[in-house]
């Protein structure tokens, strides 16, 4: 018996039989086998292809939770079987996290609710997959303003409005405001101050702060009132009237001024006196009539 070309490593040819376990990959190849004796020979052609074993992958841990901007990921797979030729994963990883040959690593820069990721390892022998669950939490910090509605006047220095916030010691907050503040107002590291120069209606401003690239947004409303114009009455006098001395003030004589105070009571006293006199005279006449009537009656008798 003969065979040509040589079989891949791990395969054995004997008496027309091929046995063994291949130890190397081999692309599809043709092999000619001859059977010989004194009467002659005969041959047959066979094709052999040796595939890569399926790469069985797994992750020792399947649940991962880190803090946005702070926790570092290094998730490496265990591989049994053949070597993967290509890798795939889905869905897309969050910003800051990368994927390379089954390795997931990096520092995330955005929050993420618990999400399941599937990783595939592919080769000529087939494909296998593994899953992990990833959660990225918001880091602990607090940001707020003591007041969120500011009503200002044009050309008046506004009270400084500074944020109240807490970050981890290693955080370096970066501030941004949209839209741009009106003329005269300044935004610096979260603090708003200045002297507004133009009025504007109530407007919402979105302020974003990032601690270790972690965004947090809050809002402040600003209204700027115009200064009311004071009423000015124009002087209608001519130059001579303006320069003329003020007119002399004329006061009434004391007698003329006070005549009403003594005239009315005097008239009232006179009227009362006349009334009393008339009443007395009338009473006297009645008394005289009463006294004379008896004398007249006596004379008639």
Residue 52 in tokens: 């890569």
Number of domains observed in the structure of the chain: 3
Residue 217 CA to its chain's centroid (Å) = 4
State the DSSP H helix or E strand holding residue 85, giving kind and residue range, or none if neither.
Answer: none
Pick from 84, 77, 83: nearest CA to 122: 84
- Per-position b or e across 10-28, b if 16+ CB within 10 A of its CB: ebebeeeeeeeeeeebeee
Return the sign of the alpha-carbon dihedral for residues 163, 169, 172, 176: negative
Structural domain for 173, as ranges: 142-225
Q: What is the pLDDT along the chain (301 residues), one digit of tens a residue?
A: 999 999 999 999 998 899 999 888 888 899 999 999 988 999 999 999 888 788 899 999 999 999 887 789 999 999 998 889 999 999 999 999 999 999 999 999 888 999 999 999 998 889 999 999 999 987 766 678 888 999 999 999 999 998 877 665 556 778 899 999 999 999 998 899 999 999 999 999 999 887 655 677 889 999 999 987 666 667 666 666 667 676 665 555 555 555 555 556 667 777 777 877 777 766 666 655 555 555 544 444 4
Query: At which of 110, 137, 164 does a domain end?
Result: 137
- Asked whether residue 42 falls in the same domain as residue 60, the answer is no
Query: At which of 225, 247, 267 does a domain end?
Result: 225
SS3 content of the chain, % helix, strand, coil (to 5): 15, 45, 40
Q: How many helices (H) and strands (E) does the chain have?
A: 2, 22
- State the CATH number of the domain containing residue 132: 2.60.40.10
Q: What is the pTM of this model?
A: 0.45
Write down the H helix ranges in the chain.
239-243, 254-300
Phi-psi region of 255 (alpha: psi -120 to 50; beta: other; left: phi over 0): alpha
Query: At which of 137, 167, 198 does a domain end?
Result: 137
């Amino acid at each position: 018996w003969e065979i040509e070309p040589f079989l891949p490593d791990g395969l054995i040819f004997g008496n027309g039989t091929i046995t063994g376990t291949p130890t190397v990959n081999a692309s599809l190849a043709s092999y000619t086998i001859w059977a010989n004796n004194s009467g002659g020979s005969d041959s047959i052609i066979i094709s052999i292809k040796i595939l890569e074993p399926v790469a069985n992958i797994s992750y020792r841990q399947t649940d991962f939770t880190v803090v946005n901007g702070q926790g570092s990921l290094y998730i490496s797979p265990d591989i049994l079987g053949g070597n993967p030729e290509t890798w795939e994963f889905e869905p897309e990883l969050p910003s800051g996290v990368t994927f390379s040959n089954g390795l997931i690593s990096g520092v995330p820069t955005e929050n993420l609710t618990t999400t399941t990721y599937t990783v595939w390892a592919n080769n000529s022998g087939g494909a296998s997959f593994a899953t992990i669950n990833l959660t990225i939490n918001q880091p602990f910090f607090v940001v707020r303003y003591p007041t969120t509605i500011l009503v200002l006047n044009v050309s008046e220095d506004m009270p400084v409005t500074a944020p109240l916030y807490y970050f981890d010691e290693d955080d370096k907050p970066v501030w941004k405001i949209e839209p741009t503040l009106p003329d005269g107002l300044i935004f610096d590291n979260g603090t708003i101050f200045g002297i507004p120069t133009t009025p504007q209606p109530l407007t919402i401003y979105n302020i974003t702060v990032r601690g270790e690239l972690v965004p947090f947004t809050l809002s402040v409303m600003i209204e700027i009132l115009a200064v009311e114009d004071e009423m000015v009455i124009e002087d209608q006098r001519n130059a001579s009237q303006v320069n003329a001395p003020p007119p002399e003030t004329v006061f009434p004589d004391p007698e003329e001024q006070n005549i009403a105070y003594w005239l009315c009571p005097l008239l009232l006293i006179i009227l009362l006196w006349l009334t009393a006199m008339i009443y007395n005279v009338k009473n006297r006449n009645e008394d005289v009539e009463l006294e004379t009537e008896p004398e007249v009656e006596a004379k008639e008798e």
